[in-house]
Amino acid sequence: MTMQVPQYWAEAQVQEKFGRGHVSGRVSLTVRRFGWSDASQDEAQTMADARARDAFERILAGEKLPSNEPRVPYDAEGLPIREEIVARHGEVVITRNSYGARCLNSPDVLFADVDFKPLPPVRLGGAMAALSLAAGVACGVLVHPVAGIVAAIATMLIVGTVRAKRAQRRHRSEGGGPEARALAPVKAFLAANPDWHLRVYRTPNGFRLLAMHRTFDPLDPQVHAFFEAIGADAYYALSCKHQHCFRARVSGKPWRMGLREHMPAGRSTWPIAEERRPERERWVAEYERTAEGYAACRFVERLGSNDYVSATYAVQRLHDDLCRAERNLPMA
């Protein structure tokens, strides 16, 4: 299986009514399937028609298959990436995702994001509850029952705020802070695999890693081992297997850039009807104007060996340029 990001998409439906007593036991059956092509819309429709008819016959014969395929742009097992193609650079395809950001899709250059661990929630402990209750009872007896309730709530909020601030300080300092904790498993992996060469980028919520020393098949067991060792997002790791590619967002998230309006509803999942495109294009134009002032990530350092191959170097240059990774811009 190779990475596919088709230019053309179509959907077909096969629907039949059988009436009572049909051998399948069904009264009716409706099946929908997608088709895709890099050649033409007609070829995509022909594929959709054939896939829908094939699935219809197999379901009718008793095979357990879904009647519809998920209408999602990415990570649907068995389907290619269904996003608008913005540009092609050899085997690398730049697409626009469902919320408007541009994404780099590569069949063999390994990317992985490591997010900072969230601050653990402040829980209402027994001592905190007892203190709030005591304050409430005392105030209720000495002043007024309503004042007691207010005092209990106020005590809980004050103590909770103090505990939250203490937890934040611990979170920032333990293990050298969130950045050091996020990179610790990466450095441990490199200590055990000194031939690896990783470029490290800071993202708004963690780090992005780009492997330079060789290319990888997304199904390579080494990729899975790497993802597990560094604590990469499990959903991303699964997506790499499903779509047979590696992926990196190369422009800012709209809400991080102050864009109050999201991609217009019904205009985000590709393809869209012709009559809806002008509204989408107006939104995209505003998004791109705003994105000029932001970086998707910022280069931090190189770790591991100095080895690289021409394929990874070419993608790294493209990635850094699209992300504005070497410019001093706010990250989004």
188-202 pLDDT, tens digit each: 999 999 999 999 999
Q: How confident is the model at residue 171 (pLDDT cuts 50, 70, 90)?
A: very low
Q: What does each C-alpha distance from 160 to 98, 128, 130, 151, 165 come to in angstroms?
A: 38, 8, 13, 14, 9
For residue range 208-217, what is the model confidence (pLDDT) as tens digits? 999 999 999 9
The pLDDT of 253-279, averaged and rounded, is: 84
* 117: nearest Cα among 183, 38, 59, 61: 183
Taking the alpha carbons of 149, 151, 157, 160 in that order, is the dihedral positive or negative? negative
**Integer Cα distance of 66 and 70 in angstroms:** 9
| Residue 114 clears pLDDT 60, i.e. is over it | yes
253/175: higher pLDDT:
253
Q: How confident is the model at residue 176 (pLDDT cuts 50, 70, 90)?
A: low
* 322: nearest Cα among 34, 36, 91, 92: 92
The pLDDT of 274-301, averaged and rounded, is: 95
**Integer Cα distance of 321 and 94 in angstroms:** 13
DSSP for 115-170 reads EPPPPPPPP--HHHHHHHHHHHHHHHHHT-HHHHHHHHHHHHHHHHHHHHHHHHHH
* 319: nearest Cα among 303, 301, 299, 300: 299
Looking at every residue in the chain, the average pLDDT score rounds to 87
292/166: higher pLDDT:
292
H or E element: which one contains 109? none
The answer to whether the CB of 302 falls within 8 A of the CB of 197 is yes
The answer to whether the CB of 210 falls within 8 A of the CB of 311 is no
